[in-house]
Structure 1
Amino acid sequence: MTAGSNRFGAAIGWLLPILILLMWEVMSRLGVITENVLPAPTEVFAAFLRVLKSGDLARNIGVSSWRALTGLAIGGSIGFALGLANGLSLLSRNITDTTLQMVRNVPHLALIPLVILWFGIDEGAKLFLVALGVFFPIYVNTLLGIQTVDPQLIEMGRTYGMDRRALFLRVILPGALPSIFVGLRYALGIMWLTLIVAETISASAGLGYMAMQAREFLMIDVVVLSILIYALLGKLADSFVRLLERLCLQWHPAFQKTARS
């Protein structure tokens, strides 16, 4: 199929959200959905223009994005490193994996009271929660990716005289990349989910702070706007990772088939 068909396939995914917005607007105008329950999309858009003009929107998006990306960098780096270590070393996995799996089953948002006692209400608490939230999806999928690399490929690499470094870079890591990208995409969703909650911890800026302030003044349109921006930022981050995935996995048969179709 042509590139135009691919673009059409990508664009059709936005059809359902647009239809939902249209139905939302119609039901609001008919009075089925009242303003004090859920403002119409046009009112939310008016709120968007208002906060954009005041400069608050850009500042809050910048603060939230910094928190999200910093937490992702910290938690993702540690999760990736431990996933590699436990995937490549049986000794490391035997020592740490049981403990990590036990901690993984503790809901990280349930730790908020304890995190406040540890870090106070400053940025450290928010970054810790985001980092903890993204850690486990990346760790688990990195470990799984390495464990599921075809042993015959590894043996073939050794037969051709590859040293450990070449074997890792040319066989093990590329073979684990599909699973690693799945973990990264899953981690991005948890990242924004965690940030929404974390920014309610006595924040002075950010989208969560903007929503909490709007709630205090019964500005439901701004609250809904904050939620929609979270959703759009999440979609943008996921689209970026999918693009990176296609670029890094051009050699993979599944992605070659996608590129041709």
Structure 2
Amino acid sequence: MQESPSASLPSAAAPVHQADRKKAWQRGRSTYRPGRFTGWIVPLLFVAFMETGARLGYIPARLFPPPSELLQTISQLALRGELLMHVAASVTRVLTGFIAGSLLAVATGLLVGLSRRAEALLEPTFQALRAIPSLAWIPLLLLWLGIDETPKIVLIAIGAFFPVYLNLVAGIRDIDYSFIEVGIISGLDTRGLIRHILLPASLPYLFAGLRNGVSLAWMFLVAAELIAATKGVGYLLSDGRETGRPDLVLAAIIVLAILGKLSDGILRRCEQASLRWRDARLQKQA
């Protein structure tokens, strides 16, 4: 029986259909514009659910106070001036540790990305250090650096270092080598390659690492403020636990969530401003 000519059409047309689906997906993402308050839907529904459950007695207030009580606790802290003091201390520690850890990660990531010898020398050690929990660093940092601000900032820097380093190295490895060859042919030295090719090409990876790094910096902050801290949002958490006040613990968690979201939003705005060329290219392709 002779095979019909149309039998070969699906295989030939498959790449075309895949390309059409890809363009449709990109077009859908580029044309969708979420509402201004879309991101508030889930938090507001959760708050309404918890408030209703607490008022009706389904949720024990001694374990999870209603959101209205948490808002009252935060308001009292703000009126007494305690909230601003704790937030200022935590923001200063996170900002200092995050900047220090990120700068060191960028320098080390560029070194490892450019040199296979440096990669073979440093990569195994970094992978081992990355697996150490944050609390395991505290006794060692106390022995080395004392109980002032230095061990707190160092611990936060450790938390921010690894996401930035790993993402930057991955971004450098993903660069098409032809771009580097063009730079070498054009007479660029190592500094010129870093400035004009490596960093611009790996910016999406770098910003992904920075956003992950700032999230981990806030997580490591809680562990850092267990090191003989007398102020800070992490100290509020510890104080609420010791005094048996779940409202204070949850209020501190809410403040940490807000601060983390704000810092991530700032980095996201910086990312959008720095990568406008990529978004314009994707819209053009769509």
- Could you tell me the TM-score, scaled by structure 2's length? 0.83
Deviation at 1:183, TM superposition (A): 0.8
Aligned to 2:230: 204
The range that moved more, 180-189 or 156-165, is: 156-165
> Would you say 1:19 and 2:45 are equivalent positions?
yes
Aligned to 1:222: 248
Alpha-carbon spacing, 1:69–1:259, altered in 2? closer, same or farther (3 Å): farther
Contact 1:68 1:195 in 2 (8 A): yes
Task: Choose the corresponding residue for 1:133, options 154, 159, 170.
Answer: 159
Task: Choose the corresponding residue for 1:85, options 111, 115, 134.
Answer: 111
Q: Which residues in structure 2 correspond to 1:168-247 (within 5 Å)?
A: 168-247=194-273
Aligned to 1:99: 125
Aligned to 2:74: 48
Unpaired runs of 5+ residues, structure 1, are none
Aligned to 1:252: 278
Count matched residues.
258
The range that moved more, 10-19 or 240-249, is: 10-19
Contact 1:104 1:136 in 2 (8 A): yes
Task: Choose the corresponding residue for 1:112, options 138, 143, 148.
Answer: 138
Output the CA distance in 2 between the equivalents of 1:176 and 1:111.
31
Secondary structure of 1:31's aligned partner: coil
Output the CA distance in 2 between the equivalents of 1:79 and 1:92.
14
Any idea what the Cα deviations from partners look like across 1:62-105, whole Å, max 9, x if unmatched?
00000111111111111111001111122322322222222222
Deviation at 1:116, TM superposition (A): 2.1
Segments of 4+ moved more than 6 angstroms: 258-261
Percent identical among aligned pairs is 36
> Would you say 1:123 and 2:160 are equivalent positions?
no
Alpha-carbon spacing, 1:102–1:21, altered in 2? closer, same or farther (3 Å): same
Output the CA distance in 2 between the equivalents of 1:234 and 1:76.
17
Q: In structure 1, what residue type is equivalent to 2:171?
A: G
The range that moved more, 105-114 or 49-58, is: 105-114
Aligned to 2:5: none
The range that moved more, 210-219 or 51-60, is: 210-219
Alpha-carbon spacing, 1:53–1:4, altered in 2? closer, same or farther (3 Å): farther
Any idea what the Cα deviations from partners look like across 1:88-143, whole Å, max 9, x if unmatched?
12232232222222222222322222222222332122112111111111111111
Alpha-carbon spacing, 1:59–1:259, altered in 2? closer, same or farther (3 Å): farther
Contact 2:134 2:223 in 1 (8 A): no
Q: In structure 1, what residue type is equivalent to 2:220?
A: T
- Could you tell me the TM-score, scaled by structure 1's length? 0.90
